[in-house]
Amino acid sequence: MPFNKQKKLGQVFLKDQAIIKKIIQAGKIKKKNQILEIGPGKGILTQALIETGADVIAVEKDEELVKFLENLFRGEQNLKIIHADIRNFLISNSKFQILHSNYKVIGNIPYYLTSHLIQLLLESKNQPKDIILMTQKEVAQRIISQPPQMNLLAVSVQFYAKPEIICYVPSTAFTPIPKVDSAIIELTPYPVITKSEITRKSFFKVVKAGFKQPRKLLLNNLSANLKIEKETIKKAFKKLNISLQTRAQNLSIKQWISLALLLIKNNV
């Protein structure tokens, strides 16, 4: 079946069965698992998910592909195909039981949506048990970064989950062949941090202030952007054994959380 290529959707279709197998193995997909598949495309991964005996909800934005999938999987009892933008689905479709269950997310997503989709998934009221996504190679490498190469995306993801690159995927594993290589990344969410420990809003206010001008010293960034006296920040640094010469990229996720907790006490 020919498809009208919609570049605005960022559509490329995975075709390599060896990569499909690695995704299934990484997700430890078993019979009756609840799976939310993002962007099923032509259904090659969907087919593999169905064969495990898992219950799958596949969310696809492209109407043409939805019709193709409905025809391809006609009669499948453990598959439900939803025609929707995954962003709207996650925000408004709470009626689907899968979003209230112990579910896993798997997807070959448009790369321009990676950061936003990860945010939606990790900040949802009921986080997935496991998230396995195909992302651009460079983005996956940024997500797993550690000091001294931390970045805002890495901190934003690692605040919620442990990231791990399962494997790298060459561009030839897709059709049409994209201009970039990819990676399969797994995100394992941590237990939800209680509001008594730290609030998401306050944490990211501190982090974004620290990364606003990454080349500047963290001390100066925090003081200028949070309107806090430098002496107050210096005391926090001393307590956490953070050098006054450090930059945002040098702090681990644990240090960011500890620093935010101290600064929040100063009504950040």
pLDDT of residue 193: 59
* Predicted pLDDT of residue 92: 76
Q: What is the CATH number of domain 200-264?
A: 1.10.8.100
- Cα separation, 106 vs 108, in Å, equals 7
* pLDDT attached to residue 100: 67
Q: Which stretches of the chain score pLDDT less than 70?
A: 1-10, 93-100, 192-198, 267-268
pLDDT for the residue 76: 95
Beta strands 174-175 and 13-14 are: antiparallel
Q: How far apart are CA 162 and CA 176, in angstroms?
A: 31
Which one-letter amino acid corresponds to residue 117?
L
Q: What is the per-residue pLDDT for 174?
A: 92
| Residues carrying CATH 3.40.50.150, the chain | 7-189
Strand, coil or helix: what is 36?
Answer: strand
Among 166, 184, 6, residue whose Cα is nearest residue 109 = 184
Contact 85/77 with Cβ under 8 angstroms? Answer: no
pLDDT of residue 6: 47
In the chain, where does the domain assigned CATH 1.10.8.100 lie? Answer: 200-264
Q: Judge if pTM exceeds 0.85.
A: yes
Are 112 and 138 a contacting pair, CB within 8 Å? no
Q: Which CATH class is domain 7-189?
A: alpha beta
Q: What is the pLDDT of residue 58?
A: 96
Q: What integer pLDDT is reported at residue 1 of this predicted model? A: 46
HSE-CB of 47 using CA atoms within 13 angstroms: 12
User: Over the stretch 88-99, which tens digit does the pLDDT of each residue have?
Assistant: 888 876 566 666
